[in-house]
Amino acid sequence: MPWWDGEDQSVRQYRWLLRTSPLDALEAAHVEALAPMPRSRRSIVLRAVQYGLVTGLRLTPDDVGRIAHLVTVGERRRPGEFLRACPAPVLVTLAQGVIVAEASFGRFGGYAAWDGSDPEPEADGVDDSAYAQPWHIAVEQHVSYRGISGGRSLPGSAGSRGW
């Protein structure tokens, strides 16, 4: 019997969003859900992040944006770890907040046909969020090495004087 059998309907919808929504939209929805939450509940969410995802040890419950980021990225990388670590009453509250968040609007296409199982993580790690730019390629394309005399040199060389 899978761990999600008998789960609350809002938690099931929340899991759908965690698995299918772009990370930037998901993070924005978490910020919107966490911000009005009482500090005591945010501290429980933070503890679940710390125990389930083993990260965020230096954060406080007031670091809403960072907690939202860790939940979204952590659940994408290690599906179910945060969900299992978060107590049910707090998880339901968080799930309900994320589901009704503006950033979640229109993100339930395909939900009706979903069997509830967690999808396999994508092998190539494709992320269609706004932050998914191949930054390392842009940096590599614009790097220029110059010798002491101002001419080009190879990476690792000491310029035209051979230092």
Q: Which of 132, 118, 43 is nearest to 77 (CA)?
A: 118
Torsion sign, CA atoms 141, 146, 151, 154: negative
pLDDT of 135: 47
What lies within 8 Å, CB to CB, of 56 at 6+ separation is 46, 49, 50, 66, 67, 70
Query: What is the percent of the chain with per-residue pLDDT over 90, rounded to a whole number?
Result: 53
Secondary structure tally for the chain: helices H, strands E = 7, 0
Q: What is the pLDDT of residue 44?
A: 97
Q: Are 75 and 11 in contact (CB under 8 A)?
A: no
| Rounded Cα gap, residues 108 and 83, in angstroms | 19
Mean pLDDT of 88-107: 94
Question: Which residues contact residue 46 at a Cβ distance below 8 angstroms, ignoring those fewer than 6 apart?
Answer: 56, 59, 60, 61, 63, 67
Between 93 and 140, where is the model more confident?
93
pLDDT recorded at residue 31: 97
In this structure, the number of other CB atoms found within 10 A of the CB of residue 14 comes to 25
Predicted pLDDT at 6: 72
37: region left, alpha or beta (phi > 0 left; psi from -120 to 50 alpha):
beta
Residue 106 pLDDT: 87
Q: What is the pTM of this model?
A: 0.70
Instruction: Give 27-82 pLDDT, tens digit per residue.
Output: 999 999 999 999 999 999 999 999 999 999 999 999 999 999 999 999 999 999 99
Q: Which pLDDT band, with edges at 50, 70 and 90, does 3 fall under?
A: very low
